[in-house]
Amino acid sequence: MNKKDKARQTQAVRAGVDTDSQHGAVMPPVYLTTNFSFAGFEKPREYDYTRTGNPTRDALAGVLADLEGGFGATVTSSGMGAVTLACQMLNPDDLVVGPQDCYGGTFRLLNGLANRGLFNVRLVDQTDPNVLAAAVAEGAKMIWVESPTNPLLRIVDLAQTKKLAESVAALMVVDNTFLSPALQRPIEHGADLVVHSTTKYLNGHSDMVGGAVVAANEALHEQMQWWANALGLSGSPFDSFLTMRGVRTLYVRMQQHEKNATSLAEILSEHEVVGKVYYPGLKSHPGHQIATRQQLGFGGMLSFELKGGMAAARVFLETVELFTLAESLGGVESLAAHPATMTHATFDKESLAKAGISDGLVRLSVGIEATEDLVRDVLQGLEAAATVSPR
Ligand code: PLP
C-alpha cells in the first residue's frame, strides 16, 4: 500500500516498522552513536556524524513531515531549539509579528534577540484582524502564530493570516504544539514552517525534551537542516526514539485528552466560583467557529479564571490530587499550572495584563486518566476554592 493511501493514524503507528533488513527487528533499531565509519578511503556512507545526521532522528523527522504534510522536518533538542531555528529566517531590521500571549519562552527569546538588534518584534492580539493587519502592514517578514494560544486558548484564523502574510511576502510560522498534527495541520492552511515542542503531545509521556520544525517546501527545509547542523541544535537519537514511540499512540491519546477536557470544561462553566472558561470546544468560546473550521478537534488544554483570584487559585491547586502542579503539558498525566507565577513568569506586569493573564487564572493540561476521576478531583478543588471566593 502506498504511504499516501494510509490514514495518518496508520502512518504514525507503522513508522519505521519492519524496516531492519539486517535482523528483521520489528521496531526500528536505535542508533546511539556519535559517528559512522567510512566504507573506505574517500568512501563516506550515508551518515558520518550524528549532529549532521542520524538514522533514528531521521526516522522521526520522516514521520513528523508526513503527519504535518510538509516537505521535511528538522528535529531539534528542544521546542526552544525549534523556535531558535525558525528565527534564523530573520535578518537585521526584519519585523516579526507575534502573539502577545505567546509561550513565555518564545516571548523571552523573541524580545531577547530583538533587544540585541537581530530583528524587530511586535507582539499583538492576533485574534483582532484589524490589529494584526496593521502590524503586518508595517512590513512584516514573518508572522509568528500560536493557535490556540498559551494559556488563553485564543484562536487565530490561519487562512486569513496567510492572506496577510502573502500581501507583504512574509513567512507564516505556526507553533502547533498545543494540538499536534492529529488535531491541526497548519501547512494545509498556508504555514511555511510548523514549529513543535515535541516534549508535549507528540512524545506524550513527559520523559524527554525535544522539538521540530516542519518545512512546507524543499528550500526552507534545506535552510532548517543547514542551520540546525551549523548551530548544533539537532535532537539526540535517544530522545528521537522516545518521541517516535510516543507518536505511535498520538491519535488515540488525543481522543481521550479531548474527551476529558470537554467534560471538565462543561463542569467548570457551570460552577459558581469560576469566572471565565477558555476551551475552544465550548460554543461560548469566541474562537469556536474558526476552531471548528481549521482544527480536527479541540484538544486537551483548557484554562479558567477563579473569581477568588490568587487566593482561590492557590487553594484549588493545593487541593486537587490528580493534577500535578508542574510546568509543561501534553503528557498522559494531568497537570495544573498557574501561568502568572509559572509558565508566564517571564512576562512583566504590564505584559501579563495586556495578554489577559490574571492572578486567578489556572491552566490545566488534561491527561488521559478516567474521566470520572478527573471530574471528581476538579469538583473537590472548586469546593475548596469556594471557601475563599466571593459568592
Ligand atoms: N512552544 C510552546 C507552545 C510551548 O508550550 C513550549 C513549552 O512549553 C515551547 C514552545 C518550548 O518547548 P520546550 O520546552 O520543549 O523547549
Q: What is the pLDDT of residue 254?
A: 98
Residue span(s) of the chain under CATH 3.40.640.10 come to 3-247
- Banded model confidence at residue 354, pLDDT cuts 50, 70, 90: confident
Active-site pick, 154, 162, 185, 200: 200
**Residue bearing the bigger pLDDT, 350 or 233:** 233
DSSP-based three-state secondary structure for 340 = coil
Give the Cα separation of 212 and 225 in Å (integer). 11
For residue 49, pLDDT over 90 is answered with yes
**96 - beta bridge partners?**
121, 142
Report the residue among 76, 102, 103 best suited for mutation to probe ligand 1: largest number of ligand atoms under 8 A from its CB: 103
Encode pLDDT of 203-227 as tens digits: 999 999 999 999 999 999 999 999 9
Over range 310-315, report the average pLDDT: 97
2 vs 359, more confident? 359
| 336-342 average pLDDT score | 94
Please tell me the predicted confidence (pLDDT) of residue 265: 98
pLDDT digits (tens, 9 = 90+) for 162-197: 999 999 999 999 999 999 999 999 999 999 999 999
Q: Could you tell me if the CB of 78 is within 6 A of ligand 1? A: yes
CATH code at 251-388:
3.90.1150.10
Q: Is the pLDDT assigned to residue 4 strictly greater than 80?
A: no
pLDDT of 2 strictly over 80: no
- Active-site residue, 175 included: yes
Q: Where in the chain is the domain with CATH 3.90.1150.10?
A: 251-388
Determine whether the shortest distance from the Cβ of 107 to ligand 1 is under 6 A: no
Q: Is 206's C-beta closer than 6 angstroms to any atom of ligand 1? A: no
Please compute the mean of the pLDDT values over residues 76-92 and round it to a whole number: 98
pTM of structure: 0.96
Long-range contacts of range 351-357, CB-CB < 8 Å, 24 or more positions apart?
351/100, 351/107, 354/100, 355/100, 355/101, 355/152, 356/101, 356/152, 357/101, 357/151, 357/152
DSSP state of 297: -
C-alpha cell at 166: 502573502
Q: Is the pLDDT of residue 383 over 90?
A: yes
Of the candidates 184, 213, 390, 384, the residue with the CA atom closest to the CA atom of residue 307 = 390
Strand order across the beta sheet in which 193-197 lies: 72-76, 211-215, 193-197, 171-175, 140-146, 95-99, 120-124
Helix (H, G, I), strand (E, B) or coil at 36: coil
Per-residue pLDDT averaged across 63-84, rounded? Answer: 98
Quick one: pLDDT at residue 60? 98
Q: How far apart are CA 116 and CA 114, in angstroms?
A: 5
What are the tens digits of pLDDT across the range 106-129?
999 999 999 999 999 999 999 999
Q: Which CATH architecture has domain 3-247?
A: 3-Layer(aba) Sandwich (3.40)
The average pLDDT across 45-53 equals: 98
Average pLDDT over residues 129-144: 97
pLDDT at 6: 84
Ligand 1 atom showing the smallest separation from residue 178 Cα? 3
Asked whether 363 and 303 are in contact (CB, 8 A), the reply is yes
